């Protein structure tokens, strides 16, 4: 049997045993792909067959049985996924393997690979969507947050909850829209919470390291002129544990040659609503605007100066 077909079988087994999936619809592309893998003639389709690449909240055709989060991470199979760009073995993510002739195509290809990622099986088992990123593939400015929260997990888009609405206002204050920048997170899946426990948790070091290749690839494709790291976890995910956000914010650092401005996470501003704290973040963003040679009005220079 071919190696990819072995991987398909492992993946199907994984879906059955660990995700509780009983029935999987097989797309035409998947059927064709399996035929190719199995040699000519009828495809010896692993049972149950392979799902289509998952990109939407309604990704499962059958409601799986409740999933027990494994206590210890079992080895994850190489995942074979049918994407718009063909068959991909998605456990390896060398950025040079990203196909597509435009940045948009390359990001789509990466997003498709991420959408079937199960490198963190405990997160894959609980997530509704993989929250890959949103915005202009040619953006000069890219914001990096921590990880999706509940709302982002449901909608499949980063920063759409309360903190996200504040981020959208901050972007607007800069004279930009969400569509003109790019927004992504260090970790693409919502960090799982104990059943019945609300709120969010910080992703673990291992989760951040496991997911890092996706963000690295996104940044390599987009090639923004500047990055803004929102909060301590975003800085840690990009540069490691180099200091507190209070000591790092306001001074440009570098991520693989790209200027990186650390600032407070919008959720910090939701907790600390004084103009003094808002002004700190705003001054960090003014520095970013200067670095991008964006026009800055007198009115913008004066935001949050009054107490």
Minimal distance in Å, beta carbon 161 to ligand URA? Answer: 6
Minimum CB distance to ligand URA smaller for 185 or for 210: 185
Minimum CB distance to ligand URA smaller for 121 or for 164: 164
Minimal distance in Å, beta carbon 304 to ligand URA? Answer: 21
- Tokens linked to 22: 């009983």
Minimum CB distance to ligand URA smaller for 164 or for 213: 164
Helix or strand or coil: residue 9?
helix
Minimal distance in Å, beta carbon 88 to ligand URA? Answer: 25
Beta bridge partners of 183: 134, 143
Spatial distance between the Cα atoms of 247 and 234, rounded to a whole number of angstroms: 14
Which residues in 170-189 contact ligand URA (CB under 6 A)?
A: 185
SS3 content of the chain, % helix, strand, coil (to 5): 40, 10, 50
CA distances from 260 to 90, 228, 232 (A): 29, 6, 13
Which residues in 119-148 contact ligand URA (CB under 6 A)?
A: 145-148
Minimal distance in Å, beta carbon 212 to ligand URA? Answer: 15
Helix or strand or coil: residue 262?
strand
164 touching ligand URA, by CB under 6 A: yes
What per-residue string of b and e applies to 214-248 under the rule 16 or more CB within 10 Å gives b?
bbebbbebbebebbbbbbbbbbbbbbeeeeebeeb
Considering only CA atoms, which of 163, 164, 147 is closest in space to residue 207? Answer: 147
Minimum CB distance to ligand URA smaller for 56 or for 307: 56
Unique residue bearing structure tokens 């079988």: 9
Give the number of other CB atoms < 10 A from CB of residue 258: 17
Minimal distance in Å, beta carbon 114 to ligand URA? Answer: 14
Minimal distance in Å, beta carbon 227 to ligand URA? Answer: 14
149 touching ligand URA, by CB under 6 A: yes
Spatial distance between the Cα atoms of 6 and 52, rounded to a whole number of angstroms: 18
Minimal distance in Å, beta carbon 113 to ligand URA? Answer: 19
Residue nearest to ligand URA (CB): 145
Which residues in 3-62 contact ligand URA (CB under 6 A)?
A: none
Binding residues with ligand URA: total (CB under 6 A)? 12
State the angle between helix axes of 205-222 and 103-115 in degrees (0 to 180), rounded to the nearest 10.
160
Considering only CA atoms, which of 153, 236, 150, 220 is closest in space to residue 182? Answer: 220
Minimum CB distance to ligand URA smaller for 46 or for 145: 145
Binding residue for ligand URA, selected from 82, 132, 143, 159, defined by CB under 6 A: 159
Distance between start and end Cα atoms, the chain: 70
Q: Which stretch binds ligand URA (CB under 6 A): 15-23, 33-41, 116-124, 161-169?
A: 161-169
Minimum CB distance to ligand URA smaller for 23 or for 205: 205
Binding residue for ligand URA, selected from 52, 112, 152, 284, defined by CB under 6 A: 152
Minimum CB distance to ligand URA smaller for 14 or for 214: 214
Residue 50 near residue 11, CB atoms below 8 Å: yes
Beta bridge partners of 226: 141
Residues that bind ligand URA (CB under 6 A): 145-149, 152, 158-159, 161, 163-164, 185
């Amino acid at each position: 049997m071919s190696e990819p077909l072995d991987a398909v079988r492992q993946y199907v087994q994984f879906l059955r045993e660990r995700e509780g999936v009983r029935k999987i619809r097989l797309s035409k592309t998947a059927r064709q792909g399996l035929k190719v893998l199995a040699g000519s003639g009828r495809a010896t389709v692993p049972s149950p067959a392979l799902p289509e690449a998952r990109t939407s909240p309604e990704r499962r055709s059958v409601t799986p049985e409740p999933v027990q989060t494994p206590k210890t991470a079992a080895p994850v199979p190489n995942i074979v996924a049918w994407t718009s760009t063909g068959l991909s073995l998605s456990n390896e993510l060398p950025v040079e393997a990203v196909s597509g002739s435009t940045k948009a195509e390359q990001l789509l290809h990466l997003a498709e690979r991420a959408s079937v990622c199960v490198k963190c099986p405990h997160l894959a088992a609980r997530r509704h969507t993989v929250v890959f990123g949103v915005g202009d593939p040619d953006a000069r400015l890219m914001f990096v947050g921590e990880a999706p929260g509940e709302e982002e997990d449901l909608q499949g888009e980063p920063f759409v909850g309360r903190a996200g609405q504040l981020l959208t206002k901050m972007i607007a204050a800069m004279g930009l829209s969400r569509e003109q920048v790019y927004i992504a997170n260090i970790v693409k899946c919502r960090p799982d919470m104990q059943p019945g426990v609300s709120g969010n948790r910080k992703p673990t070091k291992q989760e951040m390291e496991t997911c890092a290749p996706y963000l690295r690839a996104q940044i390599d494709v987009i090639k923004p002129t500047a990055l803004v790291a929102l909060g301590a976890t975003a800085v840690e995910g990009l540069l490691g544990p180099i200091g507190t956000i209070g000591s790092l914010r306001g001074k440009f650092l570098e991520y693989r040659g790209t200027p990186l401005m650390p600032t407070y996470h919008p959720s910090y501003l939701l907790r600390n609503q004084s103009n003094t704290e808002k002004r700190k973040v705003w001054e960090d963003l003014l520095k970013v605007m200067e670095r991008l040679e964006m026009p800055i009005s007198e009115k913008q220079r004066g935001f949050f100066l009054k107490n």
